[in-house]
Amino acid sequence: MGKNIISNIIGNIGTHGSEEAVRFKDNGQESWESYTWDQFAELIAKTSKALISFDIKSQENIAIFSQNKVEWSIADLGIMATGAVSVPIYATNTADQAKYIIEEAEIRIVFVGDQEQYQKILKIYADSSSTIEKIVVFDKTISLSNEASHYFYDFLSLGDAIDDEYINQKRNAILPEDLATIIYTSGTTGEPKGVMLTHDNFNEIFKIHDIRLNVSREDHSLSFLPLSHVFERCWSLYVFYKGIKNSYLDDPKEILKAMAEVQPSLMCSVPRLYQKAYHTILAKAQLGSNFKKKLFNSALRVGKQRANLIREGKEISFGIKVAYGFYDALIFKKIRKVFGGKLRMMPCAGAPLSAEITEFFHAIGMPVLIGYGLTETTATVSVFPDKGFKFGTVGLAMPELEVKIAEHDEILIKGKTIMKGYYKKPEETAKVFDNGWFKTGDAGSIDEEGHLTITDRIKDLMKTSGGKYVAPQHIESILTNDNFIENAILIGDDKPFVSALLVPNIEALKEYAHSLNLSYHSIEDLLKKSHISEFYEQKLEQLQHSLANFEKVKKFKLLATDFSMNLGELTPTLKIRRQIIINHFSSLIDEMYAF
């Protein structure tokens, strides 16, 4: 392996020639276009040349403010190949959030995706104190407003006079300890912090992924999580390092359509996708005749038997093989076809996914690889191995990483994937290190076989006025595991009991209302019906039977709409920002505690 990630990636890209490297839809077109590996490598080199023509210095920060596009990765790799530092900004960030990053990182050049991001950057550029000197726009349909703006492919021509040898020299001069990127955490609390990751961090994460994961050039990956997030970013870079074809989806709402068209074999995701799919599949199964319900349940039982034998490394009996083959042809293949039909590895992280749902997808032949990681650890800390994992855990620690449980059950990590520190925040950096161990802020446990289980974010642990500690994420996961609850947030810190804000699954609730012949004028009207509140009271009683009395939700409010990323209630990876939501719904919460 070379000394920097660009040498490693470009070196591999150069060996694949005219084969298809990346697929994408250009500006909302219906048909998929592609670049070969040769074309991809040439565009990366052109990006580097254009940046050098603008006198970019080694380790200078350059921002990318865009949704997922093939140009995102071209710019990212082109930036890092000059020895500069790539600074992603979430496509959904507000102008103020983007301004914070641009000012702290002293950004001169910004790559932007579409009209929305362009307008936000223009607003920042107009400020007299702005450091921005050049805006490079991916979307060629946007009307440019000033002399500082360039279309991406026009910008590339600015470096035509620079020869390839000079680019190679710049790339080869990058040291392992040099910064590759600064990734600003979206932050569920407090202001964002810029996580500094080096080329050596990426070299190490590639190395340990090679040990743990089984991927090949025959695979095809679909990128739909934000590339500005460490999970998708690391995965896509690893995909290029392995010479695997990558397809880009810029609108996550089109994920099912894209999967059917692309037919990926690999895809990173967050639990929300699988939770929704699971509930939809089960709801449809329940709508069938009694015979079809029994058939589905029998199929699932056999699927789970087979999946558990595979998980335990045991031989599958002839009878199970025959039964599974029958049910697979009749039921499971049809489900898998909705996801493209070829998914064989589905890394999943970012929030809890129940053992029940995880086992379900393994049973139908779609193995979800549950993992755990942070921006500060260059993503993956643990993940399911091929065999020997346990449902309900986040797998085993990655090779060459040390993981231990410290005071207050906090998970501590040591290894070469740990960040260099937080950008321009030495005091914040010092707070998260203890004798070389990185303090994750997550609570968890490790069993005798090394399986890691996440309990909660330590900062999220609630203490009731009665002195009882409650881990909200665990309970929220139990509640959202039900088809009728789309989202949930617990309240209970310094309160006499635990309450909750519940977002119903509106479609499932409409069907339930129809079965009762309930008439209503709007969703808000429906949620006020006594039948509905009683239904959710019974639902909570069923779901919480295994919880201690002090952990149980005693009162709740039903919300007509889900939490919103635009309102700051969710991070770009759909994690809840607990305190912001509590502030937004303070009056409803007060009603639950009024005596």
Confidence of residue 313 (pLDDT cuts 50, 70, 90): very high
**Amino acid 2: pLDDT:** 63
Q: Which of 307, 309, 326 is nearest to 367 (CA)?
A: 307
| Cα–Cα dist 271/157, whole Å | 42
**Amino acid 491: pLDDT:** 94
What's the average model confidence in pLDDT over 504-526?
91
Q: How many CA atoms within 13 Å lie on the side-chain side of 198?
A: 15
What's the average model confidence in pLDDT over 476-494?
91
Q: pLDDT by residue (tens digit) across 571-588? A: 777 778 888 999 999 999
Confidence of residue 567 (pLDDT cuts 50, 70, 90): confident
What's the average model confidence in pLDDT over 44-66?
96
Q: Higher pLDDT residue, 16 or 154?
A: 154
Q: pLDDT by residue (tens digit) across 38-47? A: 999 999 999 9
What ranges do the domains of the chain cover? 5-174+213-267, 271-286+334-457, 461-592
Confidence of residue 1 (pLDDT cuts 50, 70, 90): low
Q: How many CA atoms within 13 Å lie on the side-chain side of 392?
A: 6
This prediction has a pTM of 0.90
Q: Largest alpha-carbon pair distance within the chain?
A: 76
Pick the CATH number of 271-286+334-457 from 3.40.50.12780, 3.30.2420.10, 3.20.20.70, 2.60.40.1260: 3.40.50.12780
In terms of C-beta distances under 8 Å and separation of at least 24 residues, what long-range contacts does 544-550 make, across chains too?
544/475, 544/478, 547/475, 547/478, 550/464, 550/466, 550/468, 550/470, 550/497, 550/498
Collapsing DSSP states into helix, strand and coil, what is residue 409? helix
325: tokens are: 């083959």
**Amino acid 459: pLDDT:** 84
What's the average model confidence in pLDDT over 136-143?
94
- Of 4-13, 338-347, 415-424, the one with minimum mean pLDDT is 4-13
**Are 271-286+334-457 and 461-592 in the same CATH fold?**
no
In the predicted structure, residue 190 carries a pLDDT above the cut 70: no
Kind plus residue range of the DSSP H or E element containing 515: helix 506-515
- Of 120-124, 189-193, 543-547, the one with minimum mean pLDDT is 189-193
**Amino acid 574: pLDDT:** 75
Q: How many CA atoms within 13 Å lie on the side-chain side of 131?
A: 17
In the predicted structure, residue 130 carries a pLDDT above the cut 70: yes
In the predicted structure, residue 135 carries a pLDDT above the cut 70: yes
CA end-to-end distance (rounded Å), the chain: 66
In the predicted structure, residue 14 carries a pLDDT above the cut 70: no
Task: Assign a CATH topology to domain 461-592.
Answer: GMP Synthetase; Chain A, domain 3 (3.30.300)
Packing angle between helix 271-286 and helix 355-363, nearest 10 degrees? 70
DSSP 88-145: EE-TT--HHHHHHHHHHTT-SEEEE-SHHHHHHHHHHHTSTT----EEEES-TTSPP-
Task: Assign a CATH topology to domain 5-174+213-267.
Answer: Rossmann fold (3.40.50)
Q: pLDDT by residue (tens digit) across 372-389? A: 999 999 999 999 999 999
**Amino acid 390: pLDDT:** 96
In the predicted structure, residue 188 carries a pLDDT above the cut 60: no
In the predicted structure, residue 28 carries a pLDDT above the cut 70: no
Collapsing DSSP states into helix, strand and coil, what is residue 148? coil
In the predicted structure, residue 343 carries a pLDDT above the cut 70: yes
Residues 185, 573 contacting (CB under 8 angstroms): no
Token pair 């977002």: residue: 503
